A and B are shown apart, each in its own frame.
Chain A
Amino acid sequence: MAVSGFEGFEKRLELHFSGDDDPLVLHMGLRLLDFQSIQQVLDAVQCNVISAIGNQYFDAYVLSE
């Protein structure tokens, strides 16, 4: 009988985007996504944000699972 446990090996996706010359897009771009939109994306993946941190360069979220 196959024994199943929690799958540790991650799937990793990296996406790069390009925008127009709008300084706001260039400055913040994807970081302008509101939390509701991020949660909608995570709903599709089936996980949630459990902790977050950010600085002037990027935002980092720890997710459930």
Chain B
Amino acid sequence: SSLFVYPTKLIIKTCGTTQLLKSVPPLMSFARDLGLSLCACRYTRGSFIFPKAQPFPHTSFKEEVFYLEQNLPVNLCYRKASVLPSKMAAHSWHVFAATTDRTYELVPVTFTMEICMTELDRVQARKFFRRANDGKNGDMAGGEMTQLTGINDINPSAIICDFAFDPCGYSMNGVDGDRYSTVHVTPEDGYSYASFECVGAIYDDHHDNIDKMLKKVVQVFKPATFSVSTTCSIDHDVWTHVAHAVEPLGWKCRSCVMDKFPAAGSVVFQTFTVGRR
């Protein structure tokens, strides 16, 4: 799990049975003490593998939306909740967004890419298990996994903060100027999962870099299935880079849907499955 704190923006991403939305009331309270007021909110997630294990308020998307509706200030009145489907029933993308101002725009114009990978290649997944009694702490073991798996090569200019859990699992945050990236891995066979998330600016002259980055991400984990959600504050074709990057490597786009949300802009949700390796 990860937390990123900017002067006027906060991103928190947690897995397992954490009660993420319960962070909203205390965050608003602490922010108010600093003279800050909430002006936009976006909540996203994929489809849980074990939905019945989730505690309140994450027992269903309906419950999550209800909780947010009850806990956000009334002036965040432009609100929308939607589930973006795919051809695979177990893979859909849940989005809730709210803002005080329908014309609220993120400046500079940025995109967020969230990749959720399942059924990881077993050889690759094994690299995220620690050796018993390795005598290392989580930071040291994490650093080794970062090197061994090639995660350090996804964005070579990022400063990486990584951690390996015992007996398995891995988390890392990458810091590159004002941009973050993050990787989380649950390698156990039967419910293996890895995520990658990054932000970028659409006016960057680095679209080749997006392609290279996407190729590296899928090659680190070699998932049988993955989804990519691209959120962009304006209509832009940044999402088209995903298929362009991964289809030559053997993954095929199975579905692609788009929807628009207040303060978030357009969200494009794509799913991919492996065709050949």
Contact = CB atoms under 8 A, between A and B. Distances in A.
Interface string B1-26: 11111111111111111111111111
Interface string B249-273: 0000000000000010000000000
Contacts of B195: 8-10
B246 interface: no
A14 B9 contact: yes
Given A7-B191, A10-B13, A12-B13, 15 more contacts: A9-B48, A11-B13, A14-B40, A15-B41, A16-B40, A22-B35, A25-B34, A41-B26, A44-B22, A45-B20, A53-B175, A55-B175, A57-B6, A58-B4, A60-B3
Given A16-B39, A47-B18, A9 B159 contact: no
B69 interface: no
A7 B161 contact: no
Contacts of A9: 15, 45-49, 116, 193, 195
A10 B6 contact: no
Nearest to A49: B3
Interface in A27-63: 27-33, 37-38, 40-42, 44-47, 49-55, 57-63
Nearest to B104: A16
B131 to A, nearest CB: 20
A38 to B, nearest CB: 7
Interface of A: 2-20, 22, 25-33, 37-38, 40-42, 44-47, 49-55, 57-65
B40 A3 contact: no
B37 A60 contact: no
Nearest to B7: A29
A64 B6 CA distance: 20
A40 B29 CA distance: 11
A44 B25 CA distance: 9
Contact of B36 (A29, A47, A54, A60): A29
Interface stretch (B178-186, B202-210, B234-242): B178-186
Nearest to B91: A9
Nearest to B139: A51
Interface of B: 1-27, 30-31, 34-50, 52-54, 58, 104, 106, 112, 114, 116, 118, 138-139, 142, 159, 161-163, 169, 171-173, 175, 177-178, 180, 184-186, 188, 190-195, 197, 263
* Best-surrounded residue of B45, B161, B263 (most CB of chain A within 10 A): B161
A61 B2 contact: yes
A4 B17 CA distance: 12
A4 B106 CA distance: 39
Contacts of A38: 3, 5
A47 B220 CA distance: 27
A47 B53 CA distance: 17
A44 B19 contact: yes
A46 B194 CA distance: 21
A57 B25 CA distance: 25
Contact of A41 (B27, B44, B163): B27
Given A19-B8, A41-B26, A45-B23, A8 B31 contact: no
Contacts of B45: 9-12
Contacts of A4: 50, 52-53
